[in-house]
Structure 1
Amino acid sequence: MTPTAATAGKRERTKAHNRRAILDAACEVFSEMGYDAASIRDVVRRTDLASGTFYNYFPDKASVFHAVLEERTQELRRRLRAVRQEETTLDAVVHLGFHVYFSFIVEDRPLFELLRRNAGTVQTMFDTPALEAGISELFEDLSTLAERIELPPAIDLDYLAAAMGGVAFELGIRLIEQPEPDVERTARFAGELFLGGIARLAG
């Protein structure tokens, strides 16, 4: 390896380390203090970085919050897509999809605490890339399923994806606010709500 390549490799590792440190600190701070009360200074204090280093990676507090949310939901989106692409019936896709979603946000403690402490903030940021991507992926998977099982034309898949995403998010917020979150009950309620509505529209 040439000196130039070695220097470049070290620089990239340093950048990755610094970004990782900021994201980890931000997740802790937002979970403990809440988005509104937290400041960039609070985040930087949880790292060993100079205060100005933050701005080499994120322009403001909102951008690092979005990045934390994006990272924390990547695995959730992967699991949801796996279920939707493996199952062959609408019943299974709907029920299992909701169950995977609610189970994940309860079991992933960093995400659980982040959402619980910042529910209102996340609700006002529903158009963040992470959440928009989840809705887009749901629409794609529903479209593929519709081709296999021939859903009636009356079922607007764009509306359906948006509605399922919105209900999952809102019920998820209520779920994590419970002293003892009941995933089974919440997933069953959401599943029956949509399957019943779809049956009515199809009829």
Structure 2
Amino acid sequence: MKNEIEIRKRTLVVSVMLALFVGIILIFFPKTTINTETLNADITTLEKKFAVLSKARTNFCAGPNILELTDSDRLQGSCCSAMDFHRYKEQVEGLKKYSDIDKIPEDPYDISKELTNELLDYQKNINLTSEQQKIYDGAVLLSDEKGPCCCKCWRWYAFEGLAKYLITEHDFNSEQIAEVWNLEDGCGGKGHAEGEGH
């Protein structure tokens, strides 16, 4: 009789532990499925956006007067080389880390003219101290393009303005500025190095 009670206790403990284990799996399994579905939806959305942006031509190699040269309210597409989906995905994912700063475009191939105009104003109107200029100059040396863009087009001036804003308003250092410039590269191509694909 004593053995029977002991066996029932063990069976009950094992059953409770098994039920808890199964319950935990059931609780966490749907979350894994949702995350996977969300990830797949994000990739599908990004692929659709890429399909549109890779054919868009409202972004091209021009000076700050590009704002007057295009009728669209957005500067979309690549200016130099064909866009590469793998690189585009890396850039968009990398920029998510700066999503709390609304002056940093979330997509390097889709920037509003309104934001571009603001960044161009920063370039003209924000003056850096000598210490802040050292941060800027350090970013130039660290960046893939050795500056805000591969050439002195509208992007160069706009992202120079962005750098000035980030240095003065958010205390960004050289490495952070260079990272933002690299992620905002709108020249197209697969490259991560100066001049590749140009």
Q: Give the structure-2-normalised TM-score.
A: 0.30
Higher helix share: 1
The alignment's TM-score, normalised by the length of structure 1, stands at: 0.30
